[in-house]
Amino acid sequence: MQYMIVAFRSRNQTAKMYEIFTLNGVPSKIINTPREVNVGCGISVRFDEAFFAKAKVLANRYPQTSFVGFFRVFISGSKYVAKRI
């Protein structure tokens, strides 16, 4: 299993980006930020990697001041691993 998240330091801005993604055709959901990311407000927007290019364009078009970054999350063995993109 592999997916992407975008993390923020503000819960309000996380919800705002979720709304932006949804309104612009990026299927997404709000999740608890994986412990391995170890940054942000505790929640992130999760989306499929196939939508990364579009998500990146939207994040640049609608910048949020508390933006932390994009991360690829995957399972390696029995552990979750998060890599900053």
What does the radius of gyration of the chain's CA atoms come to, in whole angstroms?
Answer: 12
Per the listing, tokens 């932390």 go with 68
CATH of the domain at 27: 3.30.70
Whether 70 contacts 85, CB under 8 Å: yes
pTM: 0.93
Work out how many domains the chain is built from and give that number: 1
Whether 50 contacts 8, CB under 8 Å: no
For 2-34, how does the pLDDT look when each residue is reduced to its tens digit (9 = 90+)? 999 999 999 999 999 999 999 999 999 999 998
Domain hosting 79: range is 2-84
Q: Does the pLDDT of residue 1 top 90, yes or no?
A: no
Confidence of residue 40 (pLDDT cuts 50, 70, 90): confident
Q: Which residues of 60-78 are buried (b: 16+ CB within 10 A; e: fewer)?
A: eeeebebbbebbebeeeee
